Amino acid sequence: MDGSNAETGNDTRDVKHLKLVIVLCAAVGLLVMALPIGGGSQLRAIYELDPLEAVVYAAIFVLPLVMGATALLRPPLLGWQGGVALAGFVLGVVRFRVWDAVPRLAGLGLHTTLVVAAITVGTLASVTALLRPELPE
């Protein structure tokens, strides 16, 4: 039981860690958005302007959090769960315009840097989970 599948030759040890990475990235992103850092909660400020928009921003991190937590509690991490987590993180890539933020990451505050990092790492982990789902034991 070294984590490899003799039939396909795929090593699944690293894949098992993806669900934890997805959960951590989603939790960090959601906490940074929800906690009052630097004067107030970003999620609350968005809610006061447009409640539906706040739901969309919350979904960026809630979808991957639910998928990763479900896979942690009831393994394995299935391909469709990786796909749903990816959908949430890709929504974050678009909403936060990550492609504009990454080149100037050094000049951004800790809040934005944490959100961009959580979205970027979470997206990579979700793509990997989608392409290489965890095999049942």
Tell me the average pLDDT across 85-98. Answer: 97
- What whole-number distance in Å separates Cα of residue 73 and Cα of residue 76? 9
Residue 8 in this model has a pLDDT that exceeds 70:
no
Domain total of the chain = 1
How does residue 95 score in pLDDT terms, banded at 50, 70 and 90? Answer: very high
The mean pLDDT value for 51-58 works out to 97
Q: H/E/C letters for each residue in 27-93?
A: HHHHHHHHCCECCECHHHHHHHHCHHHHHHHHHHHHHHHHHHHHHHHCCCCCHHHHHHHHHHHHHHH
pLDDT value of position 136? 78
Residue 4 has pLDDT above 60, yes or no: no
Percent of the residues in the chain that have a pLDDT greater than 70, as a whole number = 90
**Is residue 52 assigned to a domain?**
yes
Q: Which single residue is written with the structure tokens 């095999």?
A: 135
Is residue 111 included in any domain, yes or no? yes
Is there a domain that residue 41 lies in? yes
Side chain identity, residue 109: G
**What pTM does this model have?**
0.87
Confidence of residue 11 (pLDDT cuts 50, 70, 90): low
Would residue 9 count as lying in a domain?
no
Q: Summarize pLDDT for 12-40 with one digit per residue, the tens.
A: 566 779 999 999 999 999 999 999 977 78
**How large is the angle between the packed helices 79-95 and 51-73, nearest 10 degrees?**
150
What count of residues does the chain have? 137
Is 62 among the domain residues?
yes
Structural domain includes residue 7: no
Q: What is the dihedral of CA 38, 40, 43, 49, to 10 degrees?
A: -120
> Does any domain span residue 44?
yes
| Domain that residue 30 falls in | 21-131
Q: Does 13 reside within a domain?
A: no
